[in-house]
Amino acid sequence: MVSVCFYFQVHQPFRLRKYSVFDIGNNSEYFDEYKNREIIKKVANKCYLPTNRLLLELIKKHNGKFKVSFSISGVALDQFEKYAPEVLYSFRELARTGCVEFLNETYYHSLSYLFDKDEFKEQVMMHREKIKDLFGQESKAFRNTELIYNNELANYVQGLGYKTILAEGADHILGWRSPNFVYTPKTAESMKLLLKNYKLSDDVAFRFSNKGWSEHPLTVEKYSRWISSNNGNGYVINLFMDYETFGEHQWEDTGIFKFMERLPEEILRHPDNSFVTVSEAAEKYVPVAEMDIHHFMSWADVERDLSAWLGNQLQNSAASELYKVGRLVKKSGDTGLIDDWRKLTTSDHFYYMCIKWFSDGDVHKYFNPYDTPYEGFITFMNVLNDIVIRVKEFNKKKMAAMGQKGSEAYLHQGEAAFKQEFISEHPSESLINLKIEYDETNPATETVIKK
């Protein structure tokens, strides 16, 4: 018996507009309204709407035997509500079938677990409530941003009440073992761990239209044979991929929709095959072993590590400053300011600063609004500078509203704390005066940052 577990990631960030040093302190409109709307509309028409229609037809055609799982970031859901409500409606139609599961993740698709676990927990709880509100589901399955995972994270997520977690089935972790079984995370004995079968997933997500691939063209019959060959040699085939695979990464004229249309029928021809959601896979199969994963891994790039987001000094400096500023932003209690800051935690902003230009270069250019990683870094830091100014202005207004005695007390407890936590570590306008030496003719060189 072998079950096919389709899991799709749906995410689009709030991209920043061209925000220059002259905007700092003068304009707090950070996000590119036109570009964000344009991209959502484009991907909705090419991917989300036609693929959702197809999945709904397949569920009905196969009387509920075809099932899939999704994780949709909170920022993607916000943009659907704002720019393309028809997409949100189509996902709700899928939810009503009872054959589609919606997993939880960080609301802002962030790296927050790596920097601030309290913020991580808050974003997870926000996402949990959003999914419950929109789709009426309270999932017990969790996927972290970009499948970033290790033992410690599994233990922490177990403490939040989740029973299942997803991760990459990386060769350097699995060794001789197969991703086609259910495992238990080390230090999180009550959880089930599902690992991506990256070969079979990437055959569709990346190689489907590659005419140079030895297996091209990928037919439904061929792919179904590969899946069915695991009968007796595995329990569950975890096909994890970006939802934009359908119609966006693999265009309609490649035949991707016709492939998906015929796939369930062909797989179900084998009497021992079935489709399951993530939680159903975890409930159906007993773990075969414990998986001990100390170092963080992800599903990004050939390295399967954190280097896509934290692989150079540009990225590390930006992320470090972001979360230092975040502590002060959250203390302000200003909801608009906090939301703007949280949109900066989205992992894509750091992905755009990546200096990999070799095997994974084309992937990093996809949907990238910048010409160079340096441009992405400067824009991000300019926005962060403006947020620092807004926090200081907010504190001043708060002091003024409190009157002389109140402001003196607040100065002691509030402004002094601000200076102690940030200004003492970063001299006045230190972010603005940050000097970067960057060789644009050789982006692979290590970036040197000096103050």
Residues assigned a catalytic role: 146
Q: How far, in Å, CA of 21 to CA of 379, rounded? A: 8
Amino acid at residue number 110:
S
Q: How far, in Å, CA of 121 to CA of 110, rounded? A: 11
Torsion, CA 71, CA 75, CA 78, CA 83, rounded to 10: -100
Any alpha helices (H) in 192-232, and if so which ranges? Answer: 198-205, 220-228
Q: How far, in Å, CA of 442 to CA of 446, rounded? A: 9
State the burial class of residue 392 (Cβ atoms within 10 Å of its Cβ: 0-12, 13-18, 19+).
Answer: middle
CB of 73 closer than 8 Å to CB of 11: yes
Count Cα atoms within 13 angstroms, Cβ side, for 23: 20
Q: How far, in Å, CA of 89 to CA of 93, rounded? A: 6
CA-based nearest residue to 351, from 386, 302, 300: 300
The two tokens of residue 87 are: 């997409």
Torsion, CA 256, CA 258, CA 259, CA 262, rounded to 10: 160
The two tokens of residue 278 are: 């993530």
For 222, the 3-state DSSP assignment is helix
The two tokens of residue 125 are: 């709880």
> Looking at residue 449, what DSSP letter applies?
E
Q: What are phi and psi of 290, to 5 degrees?
A: -95, 140
Amino acid at residue number 63:
N
The two tokens of residue 47 are: 């991917």
CA-based nearest residue to 237, from 249, 219, 224, 250: 224
The two tokens of residue 255 are: 């035949």
What is the number of other CB atoms lying within 10 angstroms of the CB of residue 235? 20
| The total number of residues written for the chain in this structure | 451
Cβ partners under 8 Å of residue 294, min gap 6: 150, 151
Q: How far, in Å, CA of 327 to CA of 341, rounded? A: 10
179 cis-preceded (ω within 30 degrees of 0): no
